[in-house]
Each structure stands twice: as C-alpha cells, then as structure tokens.
C-alpha cells in the first residue's frame, strides 16, 4: 500500500531554522503573554500585508468571536451556508442568530444580490467568507453595509497572501479574520489574526484577547485569545518560506488544471483580473452525489484522501435554530471535494489522482 496522501500536508521548515528560533525563547525565558517573538511576528505581518491594525490570536475561531464581541454586535448576523462550521458556530457562541443567504454558483461565495432581502431591524452585521481564498463581492457588500449601517466581517481563513486590487484581501471590511492553523498556506501550528482599521477598535480587540486587563488594571471582560512564543517562532520561520510555498502549490494547481476532464467537472472561478492568488485549495464540483462518492471510494482504494469541503451546508446543521433554504449551497455541498494540494506533492501522484477522477466521471 502506498503512503497515505491526505488533502494537505503541513509545511515544516528545516528543523535547524526552528531550533535556532527556539534558542531565543530559552534565552529570554519568556514563553507566552505577548512575548518578543510574538511582537516581532505581529510587526512583520503588519509590514508585509500593509495592515497596521493586525492582532495575532490563538486560533482563527477566537478571532471571529473577538470580532463579533469587539464590534458589540447583537440580534442577527447575515452569513453564508458554505463555509467551515466555525463561521456559524462563532455567531451562535456569541448568542446571536445566523441568517443564511445562498451562494453564487460561480465562485461559491455569498450571493451579495440576495443580502438586502433578509435585512431586518435586528440585523447588525454581515459575516461572509472568502471561500477558498476567492474574494467576495466586496464592493457590493461594502455598499450594503453603508446603506443600512451594518458592520462587514470577512472570514478570511483561506485568504492569507491573496491580494485584490493591489491590497491584501484582509484589508476589506470593517474587520477581517484569518486562520494560521497548521493546514493553511501560512501557519503558526495553531493561530490566527484579527484585522481592523480603527485604532480604538484595535485597542479593544487587544484587550479582549488578553483577559481585558493590562497588569493590574482591568478594563473589560476578556478571554484568553493569546498565542505563545513557540507558535510565533514557527510563524517567523515559515514566513521566510512563504513565496516558495505558494510557488510550489501553484505548480500542483496548474497540473490539475491541465489533467482533469473539464467536460464533466467544474471548479469555482477566480477573479482573473486584479487578483494575486495563494493557491490554498483545489476544489472540484462533480456531476452528482453518486459520482462524488464513487470517486472518493476509488481514491481511497489508492490510499488517497481528498476532503468534502465544505460539507454539509451549514444551514442544515441540527443545532441551527432557524432553517433557511439555500438551494445552490445545498446542491453544491454534497458534490464538492478538495483535492490533495501541498508544495512537495509528487507530480506523478497528481497525475494519478486526475486519472482516477477522469475514469470515474
């Protein structure tokens, strides 16, 4: 049996580079609580992305929760059914009601043309996901937010390194959140960040992520949303490899493009102009559910494990208090799979995956 091929493989830098960074932790004896490596990583990310109000967090989920809490939202948040469950559960965790709006068939992002139909007097925000790192219709969502006085939050977990119209995709909206989980293009093992554009809001987010106090002065009820020096060390090392990581992923991406049978498959379209992409995922939508399951089984027989991502559509989760019809998401979700994609994935394996898929569709 060949080695297992998963949907992704976490990037590990040369061990010596990480160990050299760890030596700085032993020298400082500062393990967490906004240590020097964390501060350095935060500053480097702010400079690289040209985002001065970026705060690193313990993970991407707490980043969304901090955004909701810091914006003092209440009532209803309009959101997408096609995302990872954390997008919805963060809303529920903060005791707000998710209101689902269906997605576009082309890019699988929230359909901005449908958003105004569900706005009520209880609506306080829109929480949209840049699915697979492809930008939402940020222009239209911004206009809706201004028209109705709504905050715009972007779950940009997939969007690190993506640029749209000359700016980091994290620069859009009132707040954007990102994940630095081990499976992401850039990772700190566990981690994330919150980005905003207002210094007062930034100060609130930084307080909230650290229990709401500075030394013995308490300002507000906060949580433990911090990250450690060990995670920051991984981020600092990995940041130096980011360009090579994206370049390697791009090669795999291009090979899938070349090899797959596009008469029977389709994938979300990227905004070709004004977009610098990060090649975070390679999703394909199969013709029907039966074919999807057949392809998954055929790949499994070869020890290859893509992922049904995103499945199920979030509007169908049993713990969601109100059900909403989202026919496009309900149609796409059971037949979309993300194929294995990482920089050092053997191109022979990519060809094999494509051949198996083509044979079963």
SS (H, E, C) 134-197: CCCCHHHHHHHHHHHCCEEEEECCCCCCCEECCEEHHHCCCEEEEECCCCCCCCCCCCEEEEEC
Cα separation, 208 vs 224, in Å, equals 8
- Residues of the chain with pLDDT > 90, as a percent, come to 96
Residue 304's DSSP bridge partners are 5
Could you read off the pLDDT of 46-90 as tens digits, one per residue?
999 999 999 999 999 999 999 999 999 999 999 999 999 999 999
Here the CATH number for the domain that contains residue 182 is 3.40.640.10
At 273 the pLDDT is 76
DSSP helix/strand/coil, 322:
coil
Tell whether 207 and 268 lie within a shared domain.
no
**Are 361 and 259 a contacting pair, CB within 8 Å?**
no
Over residues 252-269, the pLDDT tens digits come to: 999 999 999 999 999 998
Q: Which residues are 125's β-sheet partners? A: 77, 151
pLDDT tens figures, 27-48: 999 999 999 999 999 999 999 9
- The string of pLDDT tens digits covering residues 95-124 is 999 999 999 999 999 999 999 999 999 999
Q: Which of 220, 239, 258 is the last residue of a domain?
A: 239
Say what the pLDDT of residue 272 is: 66
Last residue of a domain, one of 239, 257, 275: 239
219 Cβ neighbours under 8 A, 6+ residues apart: 207, 212, 213
C-alpha distances in Å from residue 56, one per residue of 91, 141, 273, 285: 20, 26, 30, 34
**H or E element at residue 109:** none
CATH number, domain with residue 248:
3.90.1150.10
Task: Please check the confidence at residue 187 and state whether its pLDDT lies above 80.
Answer: yes
Instruction: Report pTM.
Output: 0.96
In a domain, 7, yes or no: no
Residue 235: count other Cβ atoms within 10 Å of its Cβ: 25
Report the C-alpha gap between 49 and 102 in whole angstroms: 31
Last residue of a domain, one of 239, 271, 301: 239
Q: Which residues contact 327 (CB under 8 A, 6 or more apart)?
A: 102
- For residues 261 and 342, give the distance between their C-alpha atoms in angstroms, rounded to a whole number: 21
Helix (H, G, I), strand (E, B) or coil at 242: helix
pLDDT at position 215 is 87
Q: Are residues 73 and 204 in the same domain?
A: yes
Domain span at 38: 15-239
Check if the beta carbon of residue 165 is closer than 8 Å to that of residue 191: no
Contact 270, 134 (CB under 8 A): yes
Which helix (DSSP H) or strand (DSSP E) does residue 54 occupy? Answer: strand 54-57
Res 271 pLDDT > 70: no
Same domain, 56 and 27: yes
Which tokens is 120 given?
């009520």
CA-to-CA distance for 349 and 345, rounded, in angstroms?
7
**CA-CA distance, 159 to 129, in Å (whole number)?**
9
């Amino acid at each position: 049996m060949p080695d297992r091929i998963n949907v992704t493989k976490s990037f590990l830098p040369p061990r010596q580079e990480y160990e050299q960074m760890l030596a700085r932790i032993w020298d400082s004896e500062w393990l967490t609580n906004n240590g020097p490596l964390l501060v350095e990583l935060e500053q480097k990310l702010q400079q690289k992305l040209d985002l001065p109000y970026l705060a690193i967090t313990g993970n991407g989920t707490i980043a969304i929760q901090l955004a909701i809490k810091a914006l003092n939202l209440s009532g209803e948040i309009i959101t997408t059914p096609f995302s990872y469950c954390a997008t919805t559960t963060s809303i529920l965790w903060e005791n707000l009601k998710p209101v689902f709006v269906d997605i576009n068939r082309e890019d699988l992002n929230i359909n901005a043309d449908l958003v105004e139909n569900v706005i009520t007097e209880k609506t306080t925000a829109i929480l949209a996901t840049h699915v697979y790192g492809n930008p939402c219709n940020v222009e239209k969502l911004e206009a809706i937010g201004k028209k109705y006085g709504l905050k715009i939050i972007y779950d940009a977990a997939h969007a690190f390194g993506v640029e749209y119209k000359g700016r980091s995709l994290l620069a859009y909206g009132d707040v954007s959140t990102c994940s630095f989980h081990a499976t992401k293009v850039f990772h700190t093992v566990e981690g994330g960040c919150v980005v905003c554009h207002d210094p007062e809001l930034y100060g609130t987010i930084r307080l909230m992520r650290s229990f709401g106090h500075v030394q013995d002065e308490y300002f507000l009820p906060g949580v433990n949303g911090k990250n450690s020096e060990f995670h920051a060390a991984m981020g600092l090392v990995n940041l130096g490899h980011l360009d090579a990581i994206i370049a390697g992923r791009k090669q795999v991406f291009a090979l899938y493009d070349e090899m797959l049978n596009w008469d029977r498959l389709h994938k979300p379209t990227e905004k070709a102009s004004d977009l610098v992409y990060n090649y975070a995922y390679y999703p394909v939508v199969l013709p029907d559910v039966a074919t999807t399951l057949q392809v998954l089984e055929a790949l499994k027989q070869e020890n290859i494990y893509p992922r049904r991502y995103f499945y199920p559509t979030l509007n169908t989760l049993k713990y969601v208090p109100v059900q909403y019809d989202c026919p496009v998401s309900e149609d796409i979700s059971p037949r979309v799979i993300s194929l294995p994609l990482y920089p050092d994935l053997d191109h022979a394996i990519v060809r094999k995956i494509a051949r198996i898929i083509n044979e079963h569709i």
